């Protein structure tokens, strides 16, 4: 999820100082211009040769990286001699996969510096499937390095190392080897900007290809999915490769022929308010999304406006917790375009929107926005649909409830400016009548138990909705205090969580408190 990447804000100061010392402002790039007025000139032979050298250098770097990983894997001491276990697929969450320019091989995400030729903004039109650029998924984010010569930050590396120590080896979706149908894990890197249904379909297509190459047409997989990855896995399990329906959806469990179990770690099964916060304010690795330094890779609200998957992370209908200035609950529908217009949330009505988008994109903006919201609403309806038969797929819900998590917003009118203010933070303020509301009062209504990003109630939402029709093996593990209290983006490396993930993969009973198992 966007609002908590697990990175210390103090690193920003270090990076900024290093930039000044070493003059690395070559990272600097102006915001995307709405229209290029200069005429394109044909590239010279020297320029083409230089570009080819860069491509070859990037490919060489990637080959060395893979060689290094192979050597590391060979040195790992395997502690579990078990054989014959079903293969595993790791699905990362939002922003958890690399994005690479398919022509130049340049890694655009994750790279702290902004690319000179690409940004993360998708083209916009009402036909979401047609909105494509040159970026394609690379690997999942195993580690990232914010500044050269500083320690790397592990993202999914701990989870991968845990599987290797337990006797799993890494397989490649595109090149599975003999024996990769057991005791093997695969990583599903995907373009996290795209529609989640499309990525669910891509997941099953990749599984089909592996089964064909291994001559195992009935092979099933255990899935470990983090955050938004859990939504992709759930949709694939419930509907297979089918697209969204505009009528009342009913789970078919077509994914049962592909999936044995799904372990969801910190998955927002009924959405998270942090997605709305990011859509309104943007996202930065160093705190507030409003911070937009020219050499720092971040996601502004204009970038996020073009990304369909973020809309699909919005709170589901009937789950939004909103309050007026008196901290009284108000009912709003965040999937209704009229709500966005009423409260001034629409990016395309901002004064700066015209500076960021072409004339054609400005013309398409409202219809694109309406299409993205409708798609999100249909996606939510599909995930929330009540099944008519018991789930044949075991689903495990792992997360944390030990961190205060923003699970509400305050919407109040600024009488002086005659505009609505939407606030996600727990701050004090003065009401229209002059009465003061304290920070403690806002904390009491906005904060609920969670992992700092996803509230506990969202994690367990689908578990409760399945009711008596859930698989008998399904359960919930919600971490407590101490070692179990990891924040959202570190949960896949949490020792208690990984211990329970291994129990699932080895067909052992889960350990720890299943605190949500008997909740109504």
CB atoms inside a 10 Å sphere around CB 415: 9
310 belongs to a structural domain: yes
Report the chain's mean pLDDT, rounded to a whole number.
85
Residue 454 forms part of a structural domain? yes
**Residue 408 located in a structural domain:** yes
> Is 512 domain-assigned?
no
Provide the pLDDT for residue 421: 95
Work out the pLDDT band at 13, boundaries 50, 70, 90: very low
CB 261 within 8 A of CB 223: yes
Question: Is the pLDDT at 289 greater than 80, yes or no?
Answer: no
CA–CA dist 465, 462 (Å, integer): 5
The answer to whether residue 34 sits within a structural domain is: no
Pairing between β-strand 447-450 and β-strand 403-406 as defined by DSSP bridges: antiparallel
More confident residue, 297 or 1: 1
pLDDT > 90: percent of the chain: 63
Q: What is the pLDDT of residues 428-455, one digit of tens each?
A: 999 999 999 999 999 999 999 999 999 9
Q: Is residue 436 part of a domain?
A: yes
- Is residue 292 scored above 70 in pLDDT? no
Tell me the pLDDT tens digit for each residue of 322-381.
Answer: 999 999 999 999 999 999 999 999 999 999 999 999 999 999 999 999 999 999 999 999
Q: Is 109 a domain residue?
A: yes
Look at 190-199, 377-386, 450-459, 469-478 and tell me which has the smallest mean pLDDT: 469-478
Structure confidence at residue 29 (pLDDT): 35
Predicted local distance difference test score (pLDDT) of residue 7:
42
- Residue 488 and residue 492: Cα distance in Å, rounded? 9
Domain housing 432: 75-505
pLDDT higher than threshold 60 for residue 273? yes
Query: Which is more confidently placed, 89 or 484?
Result: 89
Q: Quote the pLDDT of residue 417.
A: 87
Burial classification of residue 311, based on how many CB atoms lie within 10 Å of its CB (0-12 exposed, 13-18 middle, 19 or more buried): buried
H or E segment and range at residue 280: helix 273-281
Structure tokens at 181: 């149908």
Whether 252 and 240 have beta carbons less than 8 Å apart is answered as: yes
The CATH number assigned to the domain holding 283 equals 3.40.50.1820
Token pair listed for 412? 């109040």
* Beta carbons of 394 and 501 less than 8 angstroms apart: no
513, part of any domain: no
Number of domains in the chain: 1
CA distance 400 to 398: 7
What residues contact 316, with CB distance under 8 A and at least 6 apart?
270, 271, 380, 383, 384, 461
């Amino acid at each position: 999820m966007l609002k908590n990447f697990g990175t210390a804000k103090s690193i920003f100061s270090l990076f900024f100082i290093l930039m000044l010392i070493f003059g690395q402002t070559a990272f600097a790039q102006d915001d995307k211009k709405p229209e290029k007025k200069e005429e394109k000139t044909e590239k010279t032979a020297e320029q083409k040769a230089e570009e080819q050298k860069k491509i070859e250098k990037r490919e060489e770097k990637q080959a060395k990286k893979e060689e290094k990983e192979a050597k590391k894997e060979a040195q790992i001491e395997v502690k579990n001699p078990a054989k014959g276990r079903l293969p595993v697929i790791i699905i990362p969450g939002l922003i958890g996969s690399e994005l690479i320019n398919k022509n130049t091989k340049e890694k655009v995400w994750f790279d702290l510096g902004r690319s000179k030729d690409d940004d993360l903004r998708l083209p916009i039109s009402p036909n979401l499937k047609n909105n494509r650029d040159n970026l394609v998924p690379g690997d999942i984010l195993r580690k990232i390095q914010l500044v050269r010569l500083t320690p790397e930050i592990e993202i999914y590396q701990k989870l991968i190392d845990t599987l290797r120590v337990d006797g799993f080896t890494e397989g490649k979706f595109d090149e599975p080897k003999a024996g990769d149908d057991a005791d093997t894990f695969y990583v599903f890197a995907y373009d996290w900007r795209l529609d989640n249904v499309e990525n669910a379909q891509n997941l099953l297509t990749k599984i089909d290809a592996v089964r064909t190459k291994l001559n195992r047409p009935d092979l099933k997989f255990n899935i470990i999915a983090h955050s938004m990855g859990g939504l992709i896995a759930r949709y694939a399990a419930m509907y297979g490769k089918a697209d969204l329906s505009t009528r009342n959806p009913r789970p078919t469990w077509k994914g049962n022929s592909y999936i044995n179990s799904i372990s969801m770690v910190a998955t927002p099964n009924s959405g998270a308010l942090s997605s709305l916060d990011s859509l309104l304010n943007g996202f930065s690795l160093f705190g507030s999304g409003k911070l937009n330094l020219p050499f720092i890779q971040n996601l502004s609200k204009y970038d996020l406006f073009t990304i369909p998957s973020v809309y699909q992370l919005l709170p589901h209908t009937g789950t939004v917790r909103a309050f007026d200035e008196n901290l009284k609950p108000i009912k709003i529908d965040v999937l209704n375009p009229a709500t966005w217009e009423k409260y001034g949330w629409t990016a395309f009505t901002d004064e700066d929107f015209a500076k960021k988008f072409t004339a054609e994109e400005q013309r398409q903006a409202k219809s694109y926005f309406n299409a993205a919201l409708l798609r999100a609403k249909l996606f939510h309806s599909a995930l929330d649909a009540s099944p008519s038969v018991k789930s044949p797929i075991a689903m495990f819900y792992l997360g944390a409830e030990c961190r205060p998590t923003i699970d509400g917003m305050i919407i109040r009118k600024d009488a002086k400016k005659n505009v609505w203010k939407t606030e996600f933070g727990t701050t004090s303020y003065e009401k229209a009548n002059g009465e003061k509301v304290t920070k403690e009062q806002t904390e009491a209504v906005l904060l609920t138990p969670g992992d700092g990003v996803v509230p506990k109630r969202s994690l367990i939402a689908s578990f409760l909705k399945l009711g008596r029709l859930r698989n008998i093996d399904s359960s919930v593990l919600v971490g407590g205090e101490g070692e179990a209290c990891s924040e959202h983006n570190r949960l896949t490396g949490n020792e208690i969580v990984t211990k329970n993930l291994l129990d699932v993969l080895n067909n052992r009973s889960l350990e720890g408190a299943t605190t949500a198992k008997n909740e109504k």
